Amino acid sequence: MSRGLFITLEGLDGSGKTTQIKRLAAWLQRRGLSPIVTRQPGGTATGDSIRALLLDSRSTCLAPMTEMALMFADRAQAIAEVIEPALAAGKIVLCDRFTDSTEAYQGGGRQLGSQLVLDMHHLICGNLQPDLTLLLLPSLAVCLERARHRNDRVAAQSGPDENRFEQEQDAFYRRVWEKYREIAARDTDRIVLIEGNLTIDEVHEQIAEAVAERLITAGHAR
């Protein structure tokens, strides 16, 4: 059996990833390809506990290194439990965030630098690389605006508090945004950069086009 296809979605909070991953999953379903959809942090029982620790705004004083180590602990579990078995079974895996997020948020945002993150990725994740990464990067102003709206909405609801990152200052998000651009410029074969303030339909069209192309190359097209 041929190996599956590993597709990741990346972008800032408020970039529209969640909407797009759902649309992409439906698009694949309509083509008879049932993807495994997962997210990071989270996606396994252990990962959900790690996610709660990482995103809860009551987790104050998390050192940047702790934060990065927890992201990798979550990822190691997801690779072992979900991603590798699915790829080995020939499935398409759609993952909402992967190591590019750690490079952008911890490497860029928390200023730990790229090299450390890439070294950890080698060590902990066996350097597993996505076959395709869709990076949604509307302007920083739009991301900040949407993230703030969401923050207000979440704060108004009861339920699990997942606000810790969304309480970060604009300077943090600027560093994340710039690091994402740097990663995209470095890895043009793997990453499709979807820039600008496009409509949901326009972004979906670009995603569908990129995925269709990769499916043909990988021999998954029907």
Residue 38, SS3 per DSSP: strand
Measured from the CB atom, the residue of 64 and 218 that comes closer to ligand TYD is 64
Cβ 117 to ligand TYD shortest distance, Å: 9
Binding site for ligand TYD (CB under 6 A): 13, 17-18, 39-41, 55, 71, 96-97, 101-102, 105-106, 162, 165
And the tokens for 124? 């902990």
Cβ 87 to ligand TYD shortest distance, Å: 19
Measured from the CB atom, the residue of 47 and 215 that comes closer to ligand TYD is 47
Other CB atoms closer than 10 Å to residue 39's CB: what's the count? 18
Cβ 205 to ligand TYD shortest distance, Å: 22
Cβ 85 to ligand TYD shortest distance, Å: 20
Cβ 194 to ligand TYD shortest distance, Å: 15
CA 121 remoteness from chain centre: 15
Other CB atoms closer than 10 Å to residue 185's CB: what's the count? 10
Measured from the CB atom, the residue of 54 and 215 that comes closer to ligand TYD is 54
Measured from the CB atom, the residue of 105 and 192 that comes closer to ligand TYD is 105
DSSP sequence for 116-166: HHHHHHHHHHTT---SEEEEEE--HHHHHHHHHHHHHHHHHS-S----TGG
Sheet order of strands, 36-39 included = 36-39, 92-96, 5-11, 132-137, 191-195
Measured from the CB atom, the residue of 121 and 204 that comes closer to ligand TYD is 121
